[in-house]
Amino acid sequence: MNSTLNHFCKLSSIVILSFLFSVDIFSQTKSPTYIGINPENIDSSIDPNVNFYEYSNGNWLKNNPVPPEYSRWGSWNGIINKNQEVLRKILEDASMNSSASKGSNLQKLGDLYFLAMDTVTIERDGLNPLKDYLARIDGISSKEDFQKVFAYLKGLRTGGLFSFFGGQDDKNSKNVIFQLFQSGLGMPDRDYYLKDDDRSKKLRSQYGDFAARMFELMGNENSSALKLAQRVIELETRLAKASMSRVDMREAEATYHLMTLEELRSLTPDLSWDLIFNE
């Protein structure tokens, strides 16, 4: 029995070791000259029976400290960064390709990338590209107007109030259904609005400064920008208070409420779903 268990443990260690090194494709410091396990990553000074993780990854960890611009670092980050470099080269080449066929994917990719990187034109145009959208918002004078503009902006994949999308029914994956989910917060999580510790208070203050600056860039005077920013934070705080916490959402049943459209209408009488869908 003990012999069998010992053999199984050794075999498991080999499998785990193989997996750990099979993903070590790119290193921060040099290009790979191997495929699969890289024995150079093993720290043989560590007893694997005492600390298998340090044994199998010790030298990799020593040779690949977390870069200052990252909060974490691993072999997958190297893969992702390398992939982004390749994609950027493709886009840069496409944007400089003057012979790409009109209407081709190459031409479309090149034009889109050029538009995104043309900072001279972006700075010159300022808010002009947003004027039509801002005019729609300024034109809201009723609940119906608000819902029309809300639906229009949702069609542009903006945030606000809540999110909705199509996805598999969690209890019947054969069905793709309309799904609603809490949203509308500018900061990452409800706790950023509700916690009362010093760090949270500081973050809320900085968020208010940021929001005010955005309103100033949209042409508002400083005093008006501060008032608008405060209104935004007050609204988002109300949304945060109505939002479920991350802990609450860990329970799958807590976020599953299958209902008919008629039941949804009854649940949210102040929203005209027919109007939103039509828009």
Determine the pLDDT at residue 176. Answer: 96
Mean pLDDT of the chain: 88
DSSP 216-243: HHTT--HHHHHHHHHHHHHHHHHHHHTS
Nearest CA to 252 out of 187, 191, 183, 169 is that of: 169
Mean pLDDT for 23-41 is 62
Contacts of 190 (CB under 8 A, 6+ apart): 240, 241, 243, 244, 245
Residue 258, φ and ψ in degrees, nearest 5? -65, 130
Distance from C-alpha of 256 to C-alpha of 152, rounded to nearest angstrom: 27
Q: Mind listing the pLDDT tens digit for each residue in 137-195?
A: 999 999 999 999 999 999 898 878 999 899 999 999 999 999 999 999 999 999 999 99
Per-residue pLDDT at 167: 94
15 has pLDDT over 60 = no
pTM over 0.75: no
In angstroms, rounded to a whole number, what is the distance separating the alpha carbons of residues 267 and 147?
17
